[in-house]
Amino acid sequence: MIALAGTIGAGKTSLTKLLADHLNSQAFYESVDDNKILPLFYKDPKKYGFLLQIYFLNKRLDEIKDSYSNDLNVLDRSIFEDALLFKLNADMGRATETESNIYSSLLGNMMEELPEQPHQKAPNLLITIRVSFETMLERIKKRGRSFEQIANDPSLYSYYKNLNERYVQWYEDYNESPKMVIDGDKYDFVEDPAAAKKVLAMIDEKLIELNLK
């Protein structure tokens, strides 16, 4: 499968739809609007942080298994990002270091490739969308989920800033599959059809290089 990665508001859902339509493949979206744990997490991160990560882990593994039918199916978030998000929560005191370590170990065990398995768990290509902190905040505000708004919780400002900065190093360290990065500020594929066309052409070029298209 092809997996999208990027901070909150980077445009993963938008690019997932664009790419799946372009490739005539299936899109798999992160469960947010029907996620009953996520609003609870924003209200009490220490209490619900570990539960939320286990929920996402379970959902993402289901998506990976469901996507096996086509190498060009698109997932709107990579399972490998979750450890980054949970480590940040631990560093900010919103989860314990023990919980973070247990989660990272569990993720590693569950993602380990076994010889008898017919399908790999890592994506054929990881596409990371990189946006500035200003763009991130603008898009979070625009999509309007109340529990994500800084106006309702000023502490989210430092959380979002730290998260956006950590994604840069996370991408550099990522080595589970081939990867590429899209500059989401330079190419505003969410609003600009010309930019969307350019981004799709860049991805096509990478897929051809990897013999996936």
Residues marked active site are found at 76
Q: Is 169 annotated as a binding residue?
A: no
Q: Is 182 annotated as a binding residue?
A: no
Q: Is 140 annotated as a binding residue?
A: yes
Q: Is 145 annotated as a binding residue?
A: no
Cα distances (angstroms) measured from residue 161 to each of 9, 110, 113, 134, 182: 12, 30, 34, 9, 19
Burial group, residue 125, by CB count within 10 angstroms (0-12, 13-18, 19+) = buried
Q: Is 12 annotated as a binding residue?
A: yes
Neighbours of 15 (CB within 10 A): 27
Q: Is 10 annotated as a binding residue?
A: yes
Spatial strand order of the sheet with 74-75 comes to 27-28, 74-75, 2-5, 125-130, 179-183
Q: Is 191 annotated as a binding residue?
A: no
Strand pairing partners for 5? 128
Q: Which helix (H) or strand (E) holds 12?
A: helix 12-23
Q: Is 53 annotated as a binding residue?
A: yes
Residue list for the binding site: 6-14, 30, 42, 53, 77, 82, 139-143, 148
Residue list for the binding site for substrate: 30, 42, 53, 77, 82, 148
Residue list for the binding site for ATP: 6-14, 139-143
